[in-house]
Amino acid sequence: MTLIECVPNFSEGRRPEVVDEIVAAIAAVDGVSLLDRQSDPAHNRSVVTFAGLHAAVAEGAFRGVAAAVRLIDLTEHEGAHPRMGAADVVPFVPLKSGDMSVCVDVAHAVGARIAGELGVPVYFYEEAARREERRDLAAVREGQFEGLREAIARDPARAPDEGAPAVHPTAGATAVGARAPLIAYNIDLESRDLALAQAIARAIRERDGGLPRVKALGLALDDCVQVSMNLTDYRVTSMEDVYAAVRARAREAGVEIRRSEVVGLVPQEALVRLARSALRANGFTAAQVLEARILDTLL
C-alpha cells in the first residue's frame, strides 16, 4: 500500500453547508486524513486536501465526487474560476518520488467508477492522460461546462476517456489526473482592469513564452482583478519569482499589488527556498525547521 494525496476542486464556495457535506463524505472513509479545506466565494470553488493509503484515498475521492454530483447544479453556478464539473478536477499526488505510477492507476480506477456509477463523463489529464493533447488541464476544460455541453457529442476530439459522450445534466464532466505537487498562488491587483490581469497572465505563463512551469489566468473578482496561477514546479519558478514578475508588469501600468494568497497546502521545501532567497540565508535548510526536526525524530 502506498501513501498518496488527493486535492479535489469542487464548484461550490458560497454554501458552507454543501461543502461540509462533501468534506464529511470524504472524511468518513477509514484511513483518510483530512489535511485542509478552503472555500473562495468569488471563485465559487472549494479545494479539499486529504491523504492516506491509496485505497482509502481512492474511496474518499469517489465519495466526495458522488456528494458533489448530488449537491451541485452547474446550470445555476456562477464564479470567476473556469469549471466544467461539479467535481471539477480530482488530482492524485504522490508523496514520495517513484510513486507516480500508483497515482496514475488510482486515477484511472476512480475515473472509471465516476463514469460508470455516477454517469459523469471523465477526462484524464497530466500523467494520467491517455492522449498527449489532454495532458494540459486548460485544453481539457476548454469551453467550460456550457461549451462542453454542446461539443462533447458532435466533436470526436472532445469525446471523454470514460463514459458516454454527454455531460451530466447538472454535474457536467470531471477531469481526473495524476500530477506532482504544485502551488496554487493568486495575486490580486489594485485595479478592476480585467484586460490588464489577462495581459499579465499571458506574459508570465509558460505556454505563451513566459516563466517555465507557470500556468496563469486573469480573472475578475468582485472589487479587483486577479492573476491566478499554478506553479507546477516550484524548484524551477518560485512564488517569489512570479510575485516579482507580476509586480513589475503591474507597475508598468501604474497599478500596485493589493495582496497575494496561497490556496491549499504547499511543500515545506518551497517555503524553505523562499525564506532562503528572501532573507539571503543561503545555508538555511529544512533541518532548521522546528516541526520538521520533531517529525523526523519521532517518526
Burial class of residue 120, CB neighbours in 10 A (0-12, 13-18, 19+): buried
CA dist 116 and 174 (Å) reads 13
Would you state the torsion angle of the CA atoms of residues 69, 75, 76, 80, taken in this order, to the nearest 10 degrees?
90
**Calpha distance 51→56 (Å, rounded):** 9
Contacts 24+ apart (CB under 8 A), 152-157: 152/121
Cα–chain center distance at 186:
12
Cα angle for residues 66, 61, 59 (degrees, 5° grid): 95
Q: Residue 104: how many CB atoms within 10 A of its CB?
A: 20
Strand partners, 177: 91, 125
* Identified catalytic residue from 43, 54, 77, 81: 81
80: Cβ contacts below 8 Å, ≥ 6 apart: 42, 43, 44, 219, 220, 221, 226
Strand order in the sheet with 225-231: 214-220, 225-231, 183-189, 257-263
Give 134's Cβ-side CA count (13 Å radius). Answer: 20
To the query of whether residue 168 is one of the catalytic residues in this protein, the response is no
Q: How far, in Å, CA of 224 to CA of 192, rounded?
A: 5
Q: Looking at the annotation, which residues are catalytic?
A: 81
